[in-house]
Amino acid sequence: MISVVMPVFNGEKFLKIAIESILNQTYMDFELLIINDGSTDKSAEIINSYQDKRIRLLENDGNKGIFYTRNRLFEEAKGNYIAILDCDDYAEPTRLEKQADFLDKNEEFGLVGSWVTIIDNENTIKGAWQLEHRPERIPAKLLFLNQFAQSSVMMRREFADLKYREEIPLAEDYDLWVRISQKTRVINLAESLVKYRLHNENISQTKEKELQENVFKIYKNQLEELGIYANQDELIIHKKIGNMDFEQNNESFFETAKNWLELLHSKNQEIEIYNKMVFNNLLGEFWAELLSQNIELSISKKAFYQSYLSNFIHSTKKNTLSRAFRLRSFPFNYTIKPALNVVKNLKDWKNKRKK
């Protein structure tokens, strides 16, 4: 059986849509476990309006908060698998069936998520998150970015025992996925099985500074596994690399980012927390993007040819960068001006033909 767990606090606006998306699943063997965390709106009334025996409603004694509620849901769940759905999101009809089937057939995996479709308050599709779906890459990518949408996750119940940690608010899900990935294989199915609602009340938009501080805690925990004890400036560089948010035409930033990538490589070569080939390929992707955004820097060409990081760049991208640096080496008079003259001569010739 699957336990679908849903925390609710003043969720009346989208609660009915979320509940019915579970009741309409093609997979029938589930319980929908809902905890009402002291809602003051009509959430309890909406939940109680359903007569479906698969719905199990529990009430907190007042508003206990999201950590208490999510962890209580894990404790109260009866299923072998636990699927998460927040009360403003929507599960596609085949979500439970496809994720349960995957876990049934792949015992080495303890957690499965999926891609998600982004919707707004009017249910208009605004985009998609095509999260990393190659399981061999996910642990390494978690070092830089969260790779799971919470409402898409289904896990074996033993991994729910790890629980959310209250000392990392706003990023508690990211922290949990990292810790689970250190104990079992994890994956995202490469199809959208959930609609995730992005709206003005999303916590990550209203408390961005606190969110960043707690993401940095997650970075530090993982980096320390590599033997790296990062300071605040290094954590900022690490975040920028993960987001591929590189400062352009800034030699100091370029050099610092290059050195950080080289440090990550050398530490993982020593300890091999992450598969060496996978990790090196990922560093190569970051390095290629850093170079691409800084072609005009005088130091970037030298770094491209001298840093061993370039050995990790995919051959097609590497050839493109090599051509770009070669073209950059020619003076303006020998590249751009002749091309402009050719265009001008062609126009003059066409004008004469018309006459």
- Supply the range of the domain harboring residue 299: 226-328
* Residue 84 confidence (pLDDT) above 90: yes
Q: Verify that 174 and 292 share a domain, yes or no.
A: no
What is the CATH classification number for the domain harbouring 122? 3.90.550.10
* Residue 331 confidence (pLDDT) above 50: no
* Domain presence at residue 215: no
User: Rounded CA gap, 328 and 304, in Å?
Assistant: 13
* Domain presence at residue 60: yes
Q: Verify that 259 and 321 share a domain, yes or no.
A: yes
* Domain presence at residue 221: no
* Domain presence at residue 333: no
Q: Across all residues in the chain, what is the average pLDDT?
A: 92
| pLDDT at site 208 | 85
Higher-confidence residue: 336 or 245? 245
* Domain presence at residue 335: no
Q: Verify that 89 and 234 share a domain, yes or no.
A: no
Q: Verify that 174 and 269 share a domain, yes or no.
A: no
Q: 3-state DSSP: the chain helix, strand, coil percent, rounded to 5? A: 50, 15, 30
Q: Verify that 274 and 320 share a domain, yes or no.
A: yes
Q: Verify that 323 and 259 share a domain, yes or no.
A: yes
Q: Which tens digits make up the pLDDT trace of 290-313? A: 999 999 898 999 999 999 999 999
Q: Verify that 198 and 238 share a domain, yes or no.
A: no
Q: Which tens digits make up the pLDDT trace of 17-62? A: 999 999 999 999 999 999 999 999 999 999 999 999 999 999 999 9
pTM above 0.75, yes or no: yes
For 307, other C-beta atoms within 10 Å of its C-beta total 16
Q: Phi and psi (nearest 5°) for 116?
A: -135, 150
| pLDDT at site 95 | 99
Q: Verify that 18 and 78 share a domain, yes or no.
A: yes
Higher-confidence residue: 78 or 200? 78
| pLDDT at site 175 | 98
Partner residues linked to 125 by β-bridges = 119
Residue 332: band (very low, low, confident or very high) from pLDDT cuts 50, 70, 90: very low
Q: Verify that 51 and 187 share a domain, yes or no.
A: yes
* Domain presence at residue 70: yes
Q: Which tens digits make up the pLDDT trace of 99-122? A: 999 999 999 999 999 999 999 999
Q: Verify that 69 and 13 share a domain, yes or no.
A: yes
Q: Verify that 247 and 283 share a domain, yes or no.
A: yes
* Domain presence at residue 42: yes
**Radius of gyration (C-alpha) of the chain in whole angstroms:** 25
| pLDDT at site 247 | 82
Partner residues linked to 154 by β-bridges = 83, 112
Question: How many domains, in total, are found in the chain?
Answer: 2
| pLDDT at site 334 | 38
* Domain presence at residue 207: no
Residue 23 near residue 50 (C-beta atoms within 8 A): yes
Can you say how many angstroms the Cα of residue 134 is from the centroid of all Cα atoms in its chain? 13
Q: Verify that 135 and 188 share a domain, yes or no.
A: yes
